[in-house]
Structure 1
């Protein structure tokens, strides 16, 4: 079974990754969450979760992808253990998917020096201004460059679709595979 790793931290935006997490269940991929703390984390919506792993117990060779939800990740911009883990994922050419404010961690890790991206943060966000390569930021809702998928926070359905495509769960040419989540139905 292939494994996908997801970073969870206090304030992470669970709604931005809930559809992706739902779609991963029942596939050949196992999702494991991790944190830099040994205690439960509280999402932006006040859900408390106990991560599966502490960062000290991660072996990147066990994973094919890393997901970074949005939220307020500023407390982790100087966490060298986390930033090193992100660099290792990137250097190993594993899929990295970051949404909303999540790309700020990629910026802090130096990954955005040579990767185009998008995010729901701007140069006016003083907490993040010095960590981002603003010349590489695109105004698109979703950007895929090398092994990195980035998205604005409100684009979470397309974000999920692109991660699922990159993992081979949905065909590359299938248009809007998550229609169930886009269009209300009576059943």
Structure 2
């Protein structure tokens, strides 16, 4: 089975985390969540999610990608964690999927993986994304790097991840069963 990691840091955006977990699992992918500290992680709107494991327990060899939810201070907490940065750099070296939505592209900037790539983020974070070619599109795909604007594009973003990892046929199946039209 194909395993995707979604790290959860205190202050993460709940819509972005849960939507990606749900849609990737609907697509038949194995999704593993990992916390930076204890297993109970509180999102930016005080919703507590129990992570599957701690980031130190993640086996990067099992991963085909990483998806970073935004939210603040969640994205800053991910960016400031050397374990997350090292994991992103390792996965980027293997051309694995590297995805970030909302404020989380700042983590990709911190990891140095979006240099001269196209990317997007939540409005206002573009000044922190100095190394990329910034776009204001809802979802931006540049090879193995996928970025999205924010909570309102979470479903569209997750479907792009499915398209990248599984293919357009699965996306069309999901769109039909989920009654979505983009």
Residue matched to 2:158: 160
Deviation at 1:67, TM superposition (A): 0.8
* Distance in 2 of aligned mates of 1:113 and 1:152: 18
* Distance in 2 of aligned mates of 1:23 and 1:116: 24
* Distance in 2 of aligned mates of 1:29 and 1:135: 29
Which structure has the highest strand share of the two? 2
| Bigger-Rg structure (1/2) | 1
Residue matched to 1:52: 52
Residue matched to 2:115: 113
Which of 58, 64, 79 is equivalent to 1:77?
A: 79
Q: Contact 2:115–2:131 (CA<8 Å) still a contact in 1? A: no
Q: Which stretch of structure 1 is more off in the superposition, 108-117 or 73-82?
A: 73-82
5+ long unaligned stretches in structure 2: none
Deviation at 1:156, TM superposition (A): 1.3
Q: Contact 2:35–2:54 (CA<8 Å) still a contact in 1? A: yes
Q: How many residue pairs are counted as aligned between the two chains?
A: 178
> What RMSD, in angstroms, separates the aligned Cα atoms of the two structures?
2.5
5+ long unaligned stretches in structure 1: none
Answer yes or no: is 1:87 the counterpart of 2:85.
no
